[in-house]
Structure 1
Amino acid sequence: MLGCEKHGKYVPYRDPDLVEGTRTQKTECPFRLKGRPMKNGTDRDWRLKVMEGAHNHEPARSLLGHNFVGRLNSEEKEQVEKMSKSWVLPRKMLLTLKENNPLNLTTISQIYGACKRLRKSLRGSLTEMQHLLKKLDGDKYVHFERHELGSEVIRDVFWAHPNAIKLFNTFPYVVIMDCTYKTNKYKIPLLEIVGLTSTDKTYSIAFYYIVNEGTDDYVWALECMKSLLADQAMLPKVIVTDRDLALLSAAKQSLPNTSHLLCLWHINKCVLAKCKLYVGTDDFAELVMGKWGEVVDAATVEEFEVQWMQLFNMCKDKYSNFTSYCSTTWLVHKEKFAKAWTNHVMHFGTTTSNRAEGAHASLKKMLRDCKGDLATSWDASHSLTCNRHTEILASFERSIHRIDHIFMCPFYTNIRGFVSNKCLQLLDAEHIRMKSYGRCDCLLRETHELPCGCELAGYERISYEAIYPFWKRLSWEHVPEPVADTISNHICGMNHGDMQPEVEALTHYFSSLDTGGQSMVRRKLQLLFINCSYFYVNQSYFRK
């Protein structure tokens, strides 16, 4: 039986009384044809009978917009599937289909529908969280989950790419942490932890769906991040964040020996907003902001105090609210952003969270909207992570095999091809500055651990030993040997009894894993030990 697409009557899907905002093409058109294969004919011979030959509507002027004729064939569905996995925009998918077939009548809504059905078919009968965990296991991610107290509901998910763990073990010196929002339809914040390489490239260390941005949540994230390091003695030297009090408290607990810097860009933005509110937007406001810049850029503590007193005296009569805001909100953390203190921290030029902000922007550009599920956000982060790793590997090779002509002089003979191009550029800029001004503030040695101007003046050729190891690492295979932590020593040092074969098998399995696998096993053993200790304490309490 063949009928018109307007045949039949519209049946509401859910609420029969809900008609506002709904549309239908059904007009109960009576047109019908009946086909039947002929008994003595071939497969292509059919007998067609007109049951009702009249329509109750005008004929269509164009076939565009009619779903039946715009359906995708099997080849086009395969093309859409490949382009969807490559994060091609739906409108570009449609253009590609029409370039391949000028007679194609598919519309953009049908492309969106095809992409939605594809995502649904990939997930199958799994829940969104099960689908996410399946993807993490499929790509050999190291991931940790935290459940709601007393239930099987997963509360937080922390994951790291295997190659990102290698990079983190190679370049653990500087860590930038920042949350981004509007990445999923559940409005769950996504915490991204990033680092930097010797070639000045940004890489993502780990991601974390953080439901509540509390101190204990950040502590858990930092502990998971620390477990990724094979050598617990190689903790980050510097951590850069915004002024999140919960994150400040968590970093103080988990990384007490790490220098904590606040994003200078965010601070200046907040101070400017308060200046416009309390002072105004006239010439005096510009003078105030210029003086604030001098306060931040002061080279010494004494100069900092002098510049701040000048700013305070400028505003104390009419704009005391502004100076009170600066004093109570920011100057209590002056050691974390003012150059009088940060110039003595080895931060490799990272005093803002712009690297994390740039990573957020790339992720949101790929996502296009905030209506996806958790797995969709993971897909985007996975694609970006793989692309970044490719670029980082290429930057390593360029530093080894492609040297700029200005570095071909004898001055760089000992380090050329053995350090990153970024290192060479910093040294060249410092050498030129020393020749121009003739004085050295040793800033490059303090912040980048590279020979400063006064050191370079004493070299005929720069010594290889004068370069900090960070700048010499041009591969992520530089992973230190794993060392057992306190809990692991406690587990391995106890009386095994009948568990000796299991312990030996676990030790053999642990040694066969790569760094990422070892980090995950170590973390699982820690959690097991903590849970067992908690159970033992409760049992003792109940016995009493």
Structure 2
Amino acid sequence: MHQRTDTVENADDDPGDRKPSVVDSVKVEAPMKIEASVKVEASSVNFDVGKLRDNEVDTTHLFSTRDTWKDKEELLDWVRRQANRVGFTSGEHKLLKRKVKHEATRSRKCGCLFKVRGYVVRENNFWKLVILNGVHNHEMVRYVAGHLLSGRLMEDDKKIVHDLTDSSVKPKSILTNLKKKRKESITNIKQVYNERHKFKKAKRDDLTEMQYLISKLEENVYVHYVREKKESQNVQDIFWTHPTSVKLFNNFPTVLIMDSTYKTNLYRMPLFEIVGVTSTYLTYSVGFAFMTSEKEDNFTWALQMLLKLLEPNSDMPKVVVTDRDPSMMKVVANVLPDSSAILCYFHVGKNVRSRIIIDCKVKHNVVVVDGQKKIVDEENHRPALGHRPRVRRPRAHAGRGSKIFLRNGPVLDYVETTILKPFKDKLVKAWTDLVLHLRCRTTNRVEGAHGAVKEYLSTSKGIWVLVGKK
């Protein structure tokens, strides 16, 4: 009568290439024919358990059981759980087939002789366990979580990570999903990040990040333009948009809102985003551009590529809303001379409030009023922003322009010289209401689009692979 056995054991290591560590392994041999009894060589069983040397630990009592298991996987799971409880890991050791990269690098294996063997009983086809050597020649670790072997991802876990990564699920949500699927899992977030990185790198193959981005844009039929540096073939700027955005832009070109955002890629390149407004006051994306810097040359190229999207008989944009970026304002005036420029009054008001606090030397605290943070005077506990300038709308018959009521001279000078005199026609409602701006006097719409893009990318230091598939 034959017997089928599966061995759970450690592979011997080269004595000259050992480094003290806490690593054990599980090795499952191919099934053999079943016998009624288990034959074990006497030389492989440890009879000298009572005499332990330094750093040796006897774990025989933890694996001594009369339990049976339905299949091999149940047996291996039980062995791994017991190993994690006591403080050592299990896995299959393989000898290196190639030379290590650094001569100072050594193996983590310590030649532990711990060995247990699983076998199948013919009468009921259940699996049982026999201990061949329950002694370890190393100390047990205190915390097994996050260990290289004990926390490794199984093949099923890797497939889950790959599928959820393709669905743009965040790493912490992936880890939660893995622990729900397998409650005994002690995988940590670092191993999830490592597997995501391997998966994305494998998808990219030998292509660079920029090459992969361009290939995905071509694959999804995006309209894109690339500008390279003159002295080299490195990409300087890249502009892209979706075909649906091109149709919307030709139908609703009246108002454009432009702004740049940051922390969207590993290379710290600004992401220049342009959005438009439909006749029903809905926001749509017009185009995106990665630029090496926010200089006039970069903005000029991006807006020139934007105008290429317009059909010959389409109307030109009538209103362009931006923040007070000097380079962008100058480029808009040059590339779109027939358009009316409007400055975001929210950003201007924020600058004025900051100037009031500095010039008026207001001692302020931040308190929460009606769920909103407000700056208040420390002494009178009243809003310090009450000192902001009040602008009276000029009338057509009044030749004096705007009149400002303010208690402090330096702030009045700042508002008049820095804001009103150069930009009153782009900021004050009396002038901005003369153009059809569709109630867009701030950059809030493009700021909201920035938030949606960043949430979709799910990382601030990702690579263009993420953007390439969007």
- Provide the residue aligned with 2:416 in structure 1: 327
- Provide the residue aligned with 1:342 in structure 2: 432
Structure 1 letter corresponding to 2:440 = T
For residues 445-487 of structure 1, the C-alpha deviation after alignment (integer angstroms, 9 at most, x for no partner) is xxxxxxxxxxxxxxxxxxxxxxxxxxxxxxxxxxxxxxxxxxx
2:464 to 369, 374, 390: 374
**Judging changes above 3 Å, is the alpha-carbon distance between structure 1 residues 53 and 371 closer, same or farther for their aligned structure 2 residues?**
same
2:19 to 9, 29, 32: 9
1:174 to 243, 252, 255: 255
For residues 60-108 of structure 1, the C-alpha deviation after alignment (integer angstroms, 9 at most, x for no partner) is 5675433324333333322211211222111211221222233333222
CA contact (8 A) 2:275 2:284 kept: yes
Structure 1 letter corresponding to 2:410 = N
Q: Distance in 1 between matches of 2:233 and 2:338?
A: 36
For residues 361-396 of structure 1, the C-alpha deviation after alignment (integer angstroms, 9 at most, x for no partner) is 2222344442212333454xx2xxxxxxxxxxxxxx
CA contact (8 A) 1:164 1:205 kept: yes
For residues 165-218 of structure 1, the C-alpha deviation after alignment (integer angstroms, 9 at most, x for no partner) is 111112111111001111112111110011122333222111111112111211
CA contact (8 A) 1:193 1:206 kept: yes
Structure 1 letter corresponding to 2:429 = K
Q: Distance in 2 between matches of 1:372 and 1:34?
A: 44
CA contact (8 A) 1:183 1:364 kept: yes
1:98 to 179, 188, 208: 179
Q: Distance in 1 between matches of 2:183 and 2:454?
A: 33
- Provide the residue aligned with 1:288 in structure 2: 387
2:325 to 235, 244, 249: 244
- Provide the residue aligned with 1:484 in structure 2: none
Deviates more, 1:154-163 or 1:230-239: 230-239
Deviation at 1:14, TM superposition (A): 7.0
1:155 equivalenced with 2:239 (yes/no): no
Report the 3-state secondary structure (helix = DSSP H, G, I; strand = E; otherwise coil) of the residue aligned with 1:67.
coil
Report the 3-state secondary structure (helix = DSSP H, G, I; strand = E; otherwise coil) of the residue aligned with 1:360.
helix
Identical aligned residues as a percent: 35
TM-score (norm 1): 0.58
For residues 251-294 of structure 1, the C-alpha deviation after alignment (integer angstroms, 9 at most, x for no partner) is 111111011111111111111111111124357964431x33x3
CA contact (8 A) 1:183 1:377 kept: no
Structure 2 letter corresponding to 1:337 = L
Structure 1 letter corresponding to 2:463 = D
Report the 3-state secondary structure (helix = DSSP H, G, I; strand = E; otherwise coil) of the residue aligned with 2:231.
coil
Q: Distance in 2 between matches of 1:303 and 1:9?
A: 89
1:309 equivalenced with 2:403 (yes/no): yes
- Provide the residue aligned with 1:228 in structure 2: 309
Q: Distance in 1 between matches of 2:173 and 2:317?
A: 43
Q: How does 1:38-57 map to 2 (within 5 A)?
A: 55-57=136-138
CA contact (8 A) 2:175 2:192 kept: yes
TM-score (norm 2): 0.67
- Provide the residue aligned with 1:415 in structure 2: none
**Judging changes above 3 Å, is the alpha-carbon distance between structure 1 residues 373 and 123 closer, same or farther for their aligned structure 2 residues?**
same
CA contact (8 A) 2:19 2:108 kept: yes
**Judging changes above 3 Å, is the alpha-carbon distance between structure 1 residues 323 and 97 closer, same or farther for their aligned structure 2 residues?**
same
**Judging changes above 3 Å, is the alpha-carbon distance between structure 1 residues 33 and 101 closer, same or farther for their aligned structure 2 residues?**
closer
Structure 2 letter corresponding to 1:272 = R
Q: Distance in 1 between matches of 2:100 and 2:398?
A: 75
- Provide the residue aligned with 2:195 in structure 1: 114
**Judging changes above 3 Å, is the alpha-carbon distance between structure 1 residues 270 and 301 closer, same or farther for their aligned structure 2 residues?**
farther
1:353 equivalenced with 2:443 (yes/no): yes
Structure 2 letter corresponding to 1:141 = Y
**Judging changes above 3 Å, is the alpha-carbon distance between structure 1 residues 372 and 243 closer, same or farther for their aligned structure 2 residues?**
same
**Judging changes above 3 Å, is the alpha-carbon distance between structure 1 residues 301 and 189 closer, same or farther for their aligned structure 2 residues?**
farther
Q: How does 1:63-102 map to 2 (within 5 A)?
A: 64-102=145-183
Aligned-residue CA RMSD (Å): 3.4
Structure 2 letter corresponding to 1:90 = P
Structure 1: give runs of 5+ residues left out of the alignment. 17-23, 36-47, 383-544
1:264 equivalenced with 2:358 (yes/no): no
Q: Distance in 2 between matches of 1:88 and 1:304?
A: 60
CA contact (8 A) 2:10 2:113 kept: yes
Deviation at 1:324, TM superposition (A): 2.5
1:210 equivalenced with 2:291 (yes/no): yes
**Judging changes above 3 Å, is the alpha-carbon distance between structure 1 residues 303 and 123 closer, same or farther for their aligned structure 2 residues?**
farther
Larger Rg: 2
CA contact (8 A) 1:30 1:54 kept: no
Q: Distance in 1 between matches of 2:441 and 2:100?
A: 59
- Provide the residue aligned with 1:139 in structure 2: 220
Q: Distance in 2 between matches of 1:377 and 1:92?
A: 21
Structure 1 letter corresponding to 2:204 = R
Deviates more, 1:342-351 or 1:104-113: 104-113
CA contact (8 A) 1:3 1:33 kept: no
Q: How does 1:354-433 map to 2 (within 5 A)?
A: 354-379=444-469, 382=470
More strand by share: 2
Deviation at 1:346, TM superposition (A): 0.4
Report the 3-state secondary structure (helix = DSSP H, G, I; strand = E; otherwise coil) of the residue aligned with 2:192.
helix
CA contact (8 A) 1:174 1:195 kept: yes
Report the 3-state secondary structure (helix = DSSP H, G, I; strand = E; otherwise coil) of the residue aligned with 1:372.
coil
CA contact (8 A) 1:279 1:285 kept: no
Structure 1 letter corresponding to 2:19 = K
Q: Distance in 2 between matches of 1:140 and 1:171?
A: 22
**Judging changes above 3 Å, is the alpha-carbon distance between structure 1 residues 66 and 288 closer, same or farther for their aligned structure 2 residues?**
closer
Structure 2: give runs of 5+ residues left out of the alignment. 1-8, 21-98, 117-129, 363-376
Q: Distance in 1 between matches of 2:12 and 2:342?
A: 69
- Provide the residue aligned with 2:372 in structure 1: none
Deviation at 1:58, TM superposition (A): 2.3
Structure 1 letter corresponding to 2:387 = V
Deviation at 1:163, TM superposition (A): 1.2
Q: Distance in 2 between matches of 1:167 and 1:336?
A: 26
For residues 406-444 of structure 1, the C-alpha deviation after alignment (integer angstroms, 9 at most, x for no partner) is xxxxxxxxxxxxxxxxxxxxxxxxxxxxxxxxxxxxxxx
For residues 224-257 of structure 1, the C-alpha deviation after alignment (integer angstroms, 9 at most, x for no partner) is 1111112354111111001111111111111110
